[in-house]
């Protein structure tokens, strides 16, 4: 089982971030994910980390498919992969209307179709088998004459990529997108993954997508985990309580009623009543009450916090659920030390 970590800060000093990532690499971390919202862009930091690390894989976690064309994503990925000498992974997702429309002024439409076509176009660009053409519902390459000047012609990427197949990861949750992820992507980036309930919630969609998966693709890399702290005599309840604001914000505030994927996920996990209470409180402006309403069971099942024996049991549960890359969010002042502790537990399971 590989270990990865999502960089949790959207802002901050990139030089300090690079120092942290080097420490994490030395501690045994295999992969780091660079997020992007509406702060610093992800690709610039990916390039910097590629130049300041040696072994670690570096991925975007995630960039959305609305604010860059598929070919620009392919170009940026090829550049990062060349700079890192084959250590880059392209993590894609849809983001949401708040960012896509509110910050970028781009209509949030057909997210599933945009991602599937983006993956197809990127792989065509990297292979360079022929000048690029694509006739999809969202993207047409080159642009048809009746929609442009008529001067566009198929082109091929000038550079030869370091690899002609760069891993593509998809951050998906709902059934249709999850089926497409299992069919098309190299890896899956779920949020709030409960290993104890993953089979019943995600299993049918994963199986349906896998049945359509090309034999040319390796098995799907499932990247999941959560906040982690390892040690005897930890203040477990206090550490779990620190996760309440995040859980409440996602379950309660990431969308209107009926349009919140994370609230839907909580219901699918069996927390229907609790999810409704959290959402009602959060949308009514009662954030503290919403945080208090997050069930302790939710916090325990989505984290790896406790004595070494407990964390080892949680790691085993993730492995049994099919997770191949354990994603860590270290809680506390020593992320590298936490990674070392988890690395030792994983290696001795």
d(CA 79, CA 77): 5
- Count of beta carbons in the 10 Å neighbourhood of residue 34: 27
What does the pLDDT average to over 192-214?
97
SS3 of residue 87 by DSSP: coil
Give the chain's domain count: 1
Evaluate whether 300 touches 316 at the Cβ level (below 8 Å): no
Report yes or no on 103 lying in a domain: yes
The pair of three-digit structure tokens given for residue 136, joined into one six-digit string: 């999809």
Domain for residue 173, yes or no? yes
Find out whether 80 and 53 touch, Cβ atoms under 8 Å. Answer: no
At residue 240, the pLDDT reads: 98
In a domain, residue 281? The reply is no
- Is the pLDDT score of 57 beyond 90? yes
Domain range for residue 113? 2-227+308-314+321-348
Note whether residue 207 is domain-resident.
yes
3-state secondary structure of 62: coil
Residue 30 lies in a domain: yes
Does any domain span residue 261? no
- 253 in a structural domain: no
pLDDT in tens, 242-282: 999 999 999 999 888 988 999 999 999 999 999 999 999 99
Phi then psi for 245, rounded to 5 degrees?
Answer: -60, -40
Q: Is residue 263 part of a domain?
A: no
Q: Which residues of 71-82 are buried (b: 16+ CB within 10 A; e: fewer)?
A: bebbbbbbbbbb
At residue 10 the predicted structure's pLDDT band, cuts being 50, 70 and 90, is: low
CATH number at residue 338: 3.20.20.30
**pLDDT tens string 281-292:** 999 999 999 999
């Amino acid at each position: 089982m590989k270990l990865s970590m999502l960089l949790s800060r959207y802002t901050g000093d990139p030089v300090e971030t690079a120092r942290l990532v080097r420490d994490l690499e030395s501690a045994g971390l295999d992969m780091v994910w660079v997020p992007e919202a509406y702060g610093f862009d992800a690709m610039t930091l990916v390039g910097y980390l590629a130049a300041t690390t040696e072994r670690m894989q570096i991925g975007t976690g995630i960039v959305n498919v609305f604010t860059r064309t598929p070919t620009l994503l392919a170009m940026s990925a090829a550049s990062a992969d060349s700079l890192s000498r084959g250590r880059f992974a392209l993590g894609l997702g849809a983001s949401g209307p708040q960012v896509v429309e509110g910050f970028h002024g781009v209509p949030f439409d057909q997210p599933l179709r945009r991602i599937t076509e983006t993956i197809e176009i990127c792989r065509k660009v990297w292979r360079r088998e022929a000048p690029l053409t694509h006739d999809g519902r969202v993207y047409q390459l080159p642009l048809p004459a009746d929609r442009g000047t008529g001067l566009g012609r198929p082109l091929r990427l000038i550079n030869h990529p370091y690899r002609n197949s760069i891993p593509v990861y998809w951050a998906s949750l709902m059934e249709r997108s999850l089926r497409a992820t299992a069919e098309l992507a190299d890896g899956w980036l779920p949020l709030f993954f409960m290993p104890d309930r993953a089979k019943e919630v995600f299993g049918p969609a994963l199986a349906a997508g896998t049945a359509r998966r090309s034999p040319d693709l390796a098995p799907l890399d499932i990247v999941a985990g959560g906040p982690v702290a390892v040690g005897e005599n930890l203040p477990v309840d206090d550490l779990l309580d620190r996760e309440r604001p995040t859980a409440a914000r996602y379950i309660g505030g990431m969308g209107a009623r009926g349009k919140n994927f994370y609230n839907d996920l909580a219901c699918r996990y069996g927390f229907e009543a609790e999810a409704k209470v959290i959402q009602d409180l959060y949308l009514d402006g009662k954030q503290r009450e919403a945080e208090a309403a997050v069930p302790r069971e939710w916090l325990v099942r989505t984290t790896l916090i406790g004595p070494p024996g407990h964390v080892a049991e949680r790691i085993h549960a993730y492995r049994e659920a099919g997770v191949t890359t354990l994603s860590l969010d270290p809680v506390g002042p020593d992320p590298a030390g936490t990674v070392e502790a988890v690395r030792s537990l994983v290696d001795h399971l």
